[in-house]
Amino acid sequence: MGEDADTKNINNSFLPDYVTEADVISTVEFSHRGDLLATGDKGGRVSHEPDFDYLKSLEIEEKINKIRWIPQHNAARFLLSTNDKTIKLWKVPVLKPTDLMVEVSPRRIFANGHTYHVNSISVNSDCETYLSADDLRINLWHLDITDRCFNIVDIKPANMEDLTEVITAAEFHPQHCNLFIYSSSKGTLRLCDMRASALCDQHSKLFEEPEDPGNRSFFSEIVSSISDVRFSHSGRYLLTRDYLTVKVWDLNMERGPIETYQVHDYLRSKLCSLYENDCIFDKFECSWNGTDSVIMTGAYNNFFRMFDRETGRGVTLEAARETGKAHAVLRTRRVRAGGKRRKDQVTVDSLDFTKKILHMAWHPTDNIIAIAATNNLYIFQDKVSYDIQ
Amino acid sequence: MSEPTEGTKSIDETSTEEQQEMEDKVISPEKMEEAKLKARYPNLGAKPGGSDLLRKRLQKGQKYFDSGDYNMAKAKMKNKQLPAAMAEKTEITGDHIPTPNDLPQRKTSLVASKLAG
């Protein structure tokens, strides 16, 4: 099957170019032009790395769940960040070449919009509004108005004992300002059209893969919970991550994904202990490359996976400092389910489940990726991009 | 380009129960893991994704994090042994030193209550 075989189509000569310490990083995002990288951490600090200069905001708060850049209009840069409860708009001043440290200043605070924990924010293509999603509700805000928002999705049941699913992620369509998608803990996706009605409790489209009843187990629903959903840059496809797979969906086909990739199938025989230690609830993100031809997601043991959509092949890489040379080429890794351990292979039993790659970002146009590994940020770029510099 | 889901196969419905059970064990690692879990926790409810689990997830408390405490403690306690992962999920304020490894995503109560069924 060649699942973990090297593939020429994915340029696997990634070079670790820059590593910085930033405590536990909880979100990473490139700006739309790709010239800035923002990271948020569990200490609530929002930092930026223009050309790899490390900046720190002075304000300390709780864990940042998501960062999203506002598409740029003028010289000034703005971004939105959210922790569990509050969304903030920050201004990133224009950097002078001599700047090593810049103060990021909070410009607006969008408070009291959510009773439950905010998991997503997404800026609309109209550049004026954005959505924020918590476990049960999705709100629509205007970037200039902080004291009110519109509720556009509410799945809270009248009786909480009837609760069967929660919202896990939400995102606006990259081109159509009236459309957004949200994912659930039951593995479904709902596409909503704000032009159809003010309250989008009724979906325009429901994407759900039919379950094989012969396969149903205690763990089925938990592992089907979608932890992240992303529109492709083209706006034609969706990428979802659940505990064991990443899936590509066609917006025109609701009955199931068009592609399914196994991220770490060897964990199927470990589900009992992963449930006991809560790892089964880990929320991994996923990412498209700039041309929507390669997808990426994280795993355990500081491994992350890339899949080439054209060949269907996957590769496993490790976010780690290569000892010795400053610019070393990342080797591909292999995980062995059982049997005799061979050189360069890692057995499932020796995987470190505390080393999880949950957060990552792919540069919008170039082959540069940012990987958050606990309290380290790794930036990798492919050899072609590096040589051009 | 779709890849087949590994570890699953269709079950021959005309098999005897015994043969089916054997096939389950051979074919489905998830079912084996489920049996393991139920053997350890006999009181486990049949429906894992039910409202109890979800409601506890919604109510999970905020961990109050003070970066001043954190940075001071980090400077003081460079050599301290990290507590076992998931062993103690007490409130992380003041003197208890939160480290990156013990800023968990879920409370102990969620683990205990979900296993209690």
Q: How confident is the model at residue B2 (pLDDT cuts 50, 70, 90)?
A: very low
CA distance B95 to chain A (A): 17
Tell me if A269 and B40 make a contact (CB, 8 A cut-off).
no
Answer whether residue A86 shows pLDDT above 80: yes
Answer whether residue A138 shows pLDDT above 60: yes
Residue B51 confidence (pLDDT): 66
Residue of chain B nearest A261, judged by CA positions = B3
Q: Pick from A122, A127, A126: which is nearest to A138 by CA?
A: A122
Answer whether residue A383 shows pLDDT above 70: no
Contacts of A282 in chain B (CB under 8 A): 105
CA distance B65 to chain A (A): 6
Task: For chain A, report the end-to-end CA distance as a whole number of angstroms.
Answer: 37
Residue of chain B nearest A162, judged by CA positions = B51
Q: How confident is the model at residue A340 (pLDDT cuts 50, 70, 90)?
A: low
Contacts of B73 in chain A (CB under 8 A): none
Q: What is the mean pLDDT of chain B?
A: 58
CA distance B116 to chain A (A): 12
CB A239 within 8 A of CB A247: yes
For A241-271, write each residue's pLDDT tens digit.
999 999 999 999 999 999 999 999 999 999 9
Q: Which two tokens stand for residue A317?
A: 């890489």
Q: Pick from A215, A352, A329, A233: which is nearest to A288 by CA?
A: A233
Average pLDDT over residues A337-351: 79
What pTM does this model have? 0.76
Q: How confident is the model at residue A122 (pLDDT cuts 50, 70, 90)?
A: very high
CA–CA distances in Å: residue A98 to residues A53, A95, A102, A105: 11, 8, 11, 19
CA distance A74 to chain B (A): 34
- Non-local CB neighbours of A278 within 8 Å, separated by 6+ positions: B86, B104, B105, B106, B110, B111
Least confident window among A84-98, A166-180, B9-23: B9-23
Least confident window among A31-40, A137-146, A302-311: A31-40
Q: Does B101 touch chain A (CB under 8 A)?
A: yes
* Residue A278 or residue A41, greater confidence: A278
* Residue A171 or residue A39, greater confidence: A171
Q: How confident is the model at residue A368 (pLDDT cuts 50, 70, 90)?
A: confident
CA A272, distance to chain mean position in Å, is: 26
Residue of chain B nearest A257, judged by CA positions = B2
CA distance A346 to A374: 20
Q: Does B54 touch chain A (CB under 8 A)?
A: yes
Residue A60 confidence (pLDDT): 27
Contacts of A84 in chain B (CB under 8 A): 62
Answer whether residue A389 shows pLDDT above 50: no
For B6-55, write each residue's pLDDT tens digit.
444 444 444 466 655 555 446 689 999 999 998 988 877 656 556 667 77
For A1-48, write each residue's pLDDT tens digit.
333 333 323 333 333 334 343 467 889 998 898 877 888 877 666 654
Nearest to B51 among A116, A117, A161 (CB): A161
Tell me if B33 and A269 make a contact (CB, 8 A cut-off).
yes
Residue A354 confidence (pLDDT): 92
Q: Which two tokens stand for residue A202?
A: 């009724």
Residue A63 confidence (pLDDT): 74
For A64-77, write each residue's pLDDT tens digit.
888 898 987 777 78
Answer whether residue A224 shows pLDDT above 90: yes
Residue B12 confidence (pLDDT): 46
Residue A381 confidence (pLDDT): 81
Q: Does B30 touch chain A (CB under 8 A)?
A: yes
Per-residue b or e along B2-15, where b marks 16 or more CB atoms closer than 10 Å to that residue's CB: ebeeebeeebeeee
Q: Does B105 touch chain A (CB under 8 A)?
A: yes
CA distance B117 to B113: 6
